[in-house]
């Protein structure tokens, strides 16, 4: 697994390949089969990974907080909704977001202080267990730039779809053709 502090660097090395892989999936993958692979890898990798050692999503993203989240979290904190909004949230084009980055509810051990009642986007991120991933690959790949688990899922998907070996085989065929042209003038 990529170290969370090195994820940007690691992502830069595979960014072009990931974009080609996205196009490959679009042309070759069957949507429900891809979802099944995503779900299996999501469950397998998150079961072994300690998100407290990362926290990138809590440090780097604008965290949307919807109406239900506001009601639930303000109640939990014993604040009125207005006081909660004033203290913790900021307005954005898409609605309220957490005012600060890293999120103020992230503690020094990497744990979420409101884990049980955290916003729904925090619960759902990085969406790799959701259906229709084939139609959301831009989003999935952008998360691989910050989330080591998504990065790992993409790398394992390349293996499952034999993407690298296909690439290599294509390259090999191209080289063979070139060699034949040079040697035999075909």
Binding region for ligand SF4 (CB under 6 A): 4, 51, 54-58, 63, 103, 105-106, 112, 114, 118-119, 122, 125-126, 146-149
**Cα separations in angstroms, 65 against 43, 50, 74, 155, 177:** 25, 24, 11, 31, 57
Shortest Cβ 126–ligand SF4 spacing (Å): 5
Residue 51 corresponds to which tokens in the numbers above? 């998100």
Nearer to ligand SF4, 148 or 161 (CB): 148
Q: Are strands 89-92 and 95-98 parallel, antiparallel or unpaired?
A: antiparallel
Tokens 């998504």 correspond to 150
Shortest Cβ 68–ligand SF4 spacing (Å): 14
Nearer to ligand SF4, 32 or 115 (CB): 115
Shortest Cβ 185–ligand SF4 spacing (Å): 55
Nearer to ligand SF4, 72 or 158 (CB): 72
DSSP class of 116 = G
DSSP class of 64 = B
Shortest Cβ 26–ligand SF4 spacing (Å): 24
Shortest Cβ 59–ligand SF4 spacing (Å): 8
Nearer to ligand SF4, 62 or 171 (CB): 62
- Find, among 122, 148, 128, 3, the residue nearest to 62 by Cα: 122
Nearer to ligand SF4, 38 or 148 (CB): 148
Local structure of 167: helix, strand or coil: helix
| Residue 1 CB-density burial (10 A; 0-12 exposed, 13-18 middle, 19+ buried) | middle
């Amino acid at each position: 697994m990529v170290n969370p502090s090195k994820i940007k660097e690691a992502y830069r090395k595979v960014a072009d390949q990931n974009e080609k892989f996205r196009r490959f999936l679009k042309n070759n993958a069957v949507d429900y089969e891809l979802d099944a692979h995503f779900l299996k890898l999501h469950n397998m990798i998150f079961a072994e990974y300690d998100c407290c050692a990362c926290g990138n999503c809590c440090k780097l993203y604008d965290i949307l907080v919807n109406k239900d989240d506001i009601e639930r979290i303000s109640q939990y904190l014993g604040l009125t909704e207005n006081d909660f909004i004033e203290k913790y949230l900021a307005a954005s084009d898409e609605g309220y977001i957490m005012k600060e980055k890293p999120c103020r509810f992230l503690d020094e051990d990497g744990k979420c202080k409101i884990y049980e009642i955290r916003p729904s986007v925090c619960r759902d991120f990085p969406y790799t267990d959701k259906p229709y991933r084939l139609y959301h690959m831009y989003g999935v790949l952008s998360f691989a730039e910050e989330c080591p688990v998504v990065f790992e899922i993409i790398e394992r998907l390349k293996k499952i779809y034999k993407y690298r070996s296909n690439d290599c085989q294509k390259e090999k065929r191209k080289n063979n053709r070139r060699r034949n042209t040079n040697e035999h003038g075909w």
